[in-house]
Structure 1
């Protein structure tokens, strides 16, 4: 049986600590990447709460007919402030990867963004901004203003082996059935309920699809409470560190091609909150290792848990449509999100295009106390391959 959680901060294993060369990482901060949890901080099911309470637990009925609770329409003054800050940043000729709160000043909007950050981390966990003028500004200025906005919510981390800190959700024609090689965000396939490898994820809609590509999100704490009543056996399976997650080749030299972790686990310390780390595509794609006997195949209990979790998320989810100029931010700690499949307009019409941010919130700045060595690193999580430099392309590549 695993020992109980402790309040002490985890210490990075010596061989994982690396200096961030300034000629590669201009801010001196390196995305820490994916790795196994500290198993001594994984606690048994008996230590988990019987029920979760508070603002992180919500039902879709609370919000479905009241979009004013989760929608913020940018005011003319806020857009002007973002525009001026973006223009000043562009005039400075600073690379987009060098954007920070210090060189993207929005003093009027900043107090609101601080409250939003707290609500994302410790509250309902999501918001939809409306009225971001992407068509007027174009992709470059929009990217600057969007990333500048993001710096007030967290530190951007790399989203893939190419070092993209500005990601692009777009169908590049890749085969979505090759789930051991292909990242689903680069296809038009359905995305099942999942959490990304960051504390907060942002999506800015540049272009909509002809049909589909709509968003669903769910309080994973509401899902937890529901499973605790309806299927405690499934919940127990999800808390056990028996789950292997594929890294799809996005690994540094000498690293394993998968990690072993729980799906549901607790923060360290007293009254730890319940965190959910999940993506069925990354769990189902490991047959090349299970067939070779390197890891165990998914058990019947795990297969059942995968289906029950997806079905429960669908039943308790809030549906959301992102229009051009909308920005969705959500917390991966206690929100799971999904996307319907979609069909693009025929060429030469532009394809569906969302700009994506992955943002980290370290412990020292109010982030959750996770059972990982990098819990207090500014750019915890994400995907980092060797010393790949951060890049911020303005379109998918």
Structure 2
């Protein structure tokens, strides 16, 4: 399928991510405007996929690995920094077509894929990171994932206190992650090392979830579409920004025939007690608390479970897929800790991405987390 795009993208005068911002409230649609039932390729069930992994996996061929490895070696030899990687530097005679098809699956189809076979143990982290970012550059544009400007993230237990959800990002702990979306259009995870136990992945079709809620718990579905939810920024704010954002959990694209999409993380909702105690934001109502419980339990029932082996890459679209992670336990030293490299990718509207009711919908580096003018960095170690 050809990628949809406008001929003249808007000018960009910065390499900075647009960052988190409130929605344009006038573009939000009421619950009555949401469909009663969603149909199409974005709606899928775990039963369709769990016995047929070839439907959602792509095992790299030896030719593709050679093509990727050769191009990566050329980049490393050039001495250019990781933050400068774009698809123009990686034309990929064979892989480019594969990645173009995958991009359409991510944007307009089921919304997830698992690549298998990156030889990370042979290549090592530096070469694997370049190859991973090169692949990602064909799917979208890397955006900052935190206040430090990281466009190459490290999902690793850094012994931070997972109970301090007002300060700590859960990806830096070994705690369970509830079903959520990330602050980017797509998210990628490359597995460098597995945990001793746990750390496994679950994904759910947001559109299948919505259909089930509409049938079983329509009041919960309605609450998720209302702009009554406050989201913590956990201190990763630029000068003059509030420490929270008010929005919804489910949105509709602001256009004719617009699609439903999700945008939330329960940890960012339940971490606001310091502000609700001070009377700055309203506390969660009993209905909202129940909605969060129903949301998580329904996701657990509908989820497709997968295990990322060393050398696997999971890419998914946050618009129509929710994801979660089980808690995990690392092996004792000197065994390596569980370690995944993460990308958040922007797919702006003018490049065929979803239209979103936010002011940066048509911006190249949209969403993500940006603090003031912190420049992008891509470190090879977690910090």
TM-score normalised to structure 1 length:
0.93
Name the SS of the counterpart of 1:237 in structure 2: helix
Do the aligned partners of 1:29 and 1:378 also contact (CA within 8 Å) in 2?
A: no
| Count of residues in correspondence between the two structures | 375
Residue in 1 aligned with 2:67? 81
Shift in Å, 1:19 = 7.3
CA distance in 2, matches of 1:277, 1:101: 27
Does 1:209 pair with 2:181?
no
CA distance in 2, matches of 1:179, 1:354: 21
Gaps of 5+ in 1: 1-8, 10-17, 21-27
Residue in 2 aligned with 1:235? 221
CA distance in 2, matches of 1:269, 1:148: 32
Residue in 2 aligned with 1:356? 342
Shift in Å, 1:348 = 1.3
Does 1:95 pair with 2:81?
yes
Shift in Å, 1:105 = 2.6
Matches within 5 A, 1:1-397: 20=13, 28-397=14-383
Do the aligned partners of 2:156 and 2:173 also contact (CA within 8 Å) in 1?
A: yes
Do the aligned partners of 2:196 and 2:328 also contact (CA within 8 Å) in 1?
A: yes
CA distance in 2, matches of 1:96, 1:74: 23
CA distance in 2, matches of 1:160, 1:105: 29
Do the aligned partners of 1:237 and 1:302 also contact (CA within 8 Å) in 2?
A: yes
CA distance in 2, matches of 1:326, 1:112: 16
CA distance in 2, matches of 1:177, 1:101: 40
Shift in Å, 1:103 = 1.3
Name the SS of the counterpart of 1:102 in structure 2: helix
Name the SS of the counterpart of 2:275 in structure 1: helix
CA distance in 2, matches of 1:220, 1:346: 37
Gaps of 5+ in 2: 1-5
Do the aligned partners of 2:184 and 2:318 also contact (CA within 8 Å) in 1?
A: yes
Q: Deviations over 1:94-147 (max 9, x none)?
A: 110000111123121001101100110100000111110101100000000000
Shift in Å, 1:278 = 1.5
CA distance in 1, matches of 2:247, 2:180: 15
Q: Deviations over 1:192-233 (max 9, x none)?
A: 000000010000000000000000000010000000011110
RMSD: 1.3
Do the aligned partners of 1:251 and 1:257 also contact (CA within 8 Å) in 2?
A: yes
Q: Deviations over 1:276-308 (max 9, x none)?
A: 111110000000000000010001111010000
Do the aligned partners of 2:12 and 2:364 also contact (CA within 8 Å) in 1?
A: no
Do the aligned partners of 1:100 and 1:151 also contact (CA within 8 Å) in 2?
A: yes
